[in-house]
Amino acid sequence: MGATLYAHLPGVRLVEGDVTFGGGSLRALPFDEWVRFDDSFPYAAKAFGRSAAVFWVGRPQLDEEVETGRWVESAIWPLHAAFLLDARAPLLPTPLISTNYVLWDARPEVGMIAPSPHTMLGPAERELLVYGSPITYPFTAAELAVVERRCEFLTANRIRALDDDIGAGLQVLEETARPDSWYGGDQLVSQLHGFVRCMAACEDLLLPGIDEDEKTDITRTFGRHAAALLLPAHGDREQGAGHFSDLYRLRTALIHGRMGPEEGDPDQSRFAAGRLLLRNVLVAALLLKVRAAQPAPLWQVLRENLADGGHQELLARTLAEMATL
């Protein structure tokens, strides 16, 4: 039996209308089509129209031995991760908190009508479908083409199977994009929470473990490693290292209570920089892991490059490829 998956993408807005994407299509679903398989809100046409709910509609390969919910999760993960890794590091909640649908095929050749649609209700149920996400991001057709390439990269390289610091970093990006991380509309506390968690994920990627020998000046090392990764071919690497070290100092001040959200004016604008840094570090780390013949821990590649420049060409190629991913 085959099936069509309707996966809701909370917060995504299509600037130029429906587009083909990932073997299916991204569609702002008309209300009349939605109520044909979900009539829970028959009088919500205006609200649904304003929300402009975007679905990925496609037919992922169905494994009938896998439970339906796990099959849907597996199909949705690379799609959502590809949007999370957009250059804006957007706060796009996982489709799994909203409502998704599986429409089963009929099999007239054996006299079988289509079973009732399978509705997967997440914690937000139909709230984000009918009323929309409070945070939205517009995507042009050109931007969606880049997201699609990223989705193909994640799928082809089985990135979801990673259980290392890269996988953990991707999980932090996802968790801090959920509405339950938005602290009831307190934007400052939400930004502070996201900043600290994203910087901790960056630390795990960029710094040696506690049993290594280079945790002497971790603030300086963090800045130098981030600059070596993201600015390998630029003469302003020292300036960049200073910027990344300053972000790490802000993280330290917040964690150790030397600064609180009520004092935030000078530093609030930098809270979003932690999420953006994690996005950039993750994309570079993924490319290095896939492209390197014998991938070493990211911090080790960066330390060796700073010592003798041996990875300069590899890092420069990675930075160039980041622009297309």
Regarding whether 95 and 9 lie in a shared domain, the answer is yes
Average pLDDT, the chain: 84
Q: Is the pLDDT of residue 267 over 80?
A: no
Which of these three, 144, 160, 176, is where a domain ends?
Answer: 160
**The predicted structure's pLDDT at residue 134:** 87
Which of these three, 138, 160, 182, is where a domain ends?
Answer: 160
**The predicted structure's pLDDT at residue 235:** 60
Q: Ramachandran region of residue 140, left (φ > 0), alpha (ψ -120 to 50) or beta?
A: beta
Nearest alpha-carbon partner for 198 in 180, 179, 221, 181: 181
Compute the distance between CA of residue 196 and CA of residue 274 in angstroms, rounded to an integer: 8
Regarding whether 142 and 179 lie in a shared domain, the answer is no
Angstrom distances, CA of residue 292 to CA of 54, 147, 158, 269, 313: 37, 23, 16, 36, 12
Mean pLDDT lowest among 9-13, 225-229, 258-262, 277-281: 258-262
Regarding whether 218 and 87 lie in a shared domain, the answer is no
**The predicted structure's pLDDT at residue 320:** 72
Regarding whether 299 and 173 lie in a shared domain, the answer is yes
Which of these three, 160, 185, 205, is where a domain ends?
Answer: 160
Compute the distance between CA of residue 201 and CA of residue 179 in angstroms, rounded to an integer: 20
Nearest alpha-carbon partner for 16 in 143, 128, 146, 147: 143
At 1, is the pLDDT very low, low, confident or very high (cuts 50, 70, 90)?
A: low
Regarding whether 106 and 63 lie in a shared domain, the answer is yes
Between residues 5 and 161, the one the model is more confident about: 5
Nearest alpha-carbon partner for 144 in 256, 15, 252: 15
> Exposed e or buried b for every residue in 64-82, given b needs 16+ CB within 10 A?
eeeeeeebbbebbbbbbbb
Regarding whether 318 and 170 lie in a shared domain, the answer is yes
Between residues 130 and 188, the one the model is more confident about: 130
Compute the distance between CA of residue 90 and CA of residue 285 in angstroms, rounded to an integer: 19
Between residues 51 and 262, the one the model is more confident about: 51
Q: Is the pLDDT of residue 111 over 50?
A: no
Between residues 165 and 45, the one the model is more confident about: 45
Mean pLDDT lowest among 3-17, 165-179, 227-241: 227-241
**The predicted structure's pLDDT at residue 181:** 75
**The predicted structure's pLDDT at residue 294:** 60
**The predicted structure's pLDDT at residue 140:** 97
Enter the pTM of the model.
0.89
Regarding whether 36 and 103 lie in a shared domain, the answer is yes
**The predicted structure's pLDDT at residue 86:** 95
Regarding whether 276 and 155 lie in a shared domain, the answer is no
Between residues 85 and 184, the one the model is more confident about: 85
Between residues 160 and 91, the one the model is more confident about: 91
**The predicted structure's pLDDT at residue 309:** 62
Q: Is the pLDDT of residue 219 over 70?
A: yes
Mean pLDDT lowest among 10-24, 86-100, 171-185, 228-242: 228-242
Angstrom distances, CA of residue 42 to CA of 37, 119, 127, 130, 134: 11, 16, 14, 11, 23
Task: Show the beta-strand stretches assigned E in 60-117.
Answer: 99-104
268-291 helix and 312-322 helix, angle to the nearest 10 degrees: 110
Asked if 95 and 80 touch (Cβ cutoff 8 Å), the reply is: yes
> What contacts 7, CB < 8 A, 6 or more positions away?
55, 56, 57, 72, 75, 76, 79, 95, 100
Q: How many domains does the chain have?
A: 2
Q: Is the pLDDT of residue 110 over 50?
A: no
Regarding whether 129 and 188 lie in a shared domain, the answer is no
Regarding whether 194 and 75 lie in a shared domain, the answer is no
Counting residues of the chain whose pLDDT is more than 70, the rounded percentage is 82
Regarding whether 132 and 176 lie in a shared domain, the answer is no
Regarding whether 197 and 148 lie in a shared domain, the answer is no
Tokens in use for 262? 């009520």
Counting residues of the chain whose pLDDT is more than 90, the rounded percentage is 50
Q: Is the pLDDT of residue 263 over 90?
A: no
pLDDT in tens, 4-28: 999 999 999 999 999 999 999 999 9
- Containing structural domain, residue 175: 163-322
At 108, is the pLDDT very low, low, confident or very high (cuts 50, 70, 90)?
A: very low
Between residues 22 and 111, the one the model is more confident about: 22
Compute the distance between CA of residue 169 and CA of residue 188 in angstroms, rounded to an integer: 22
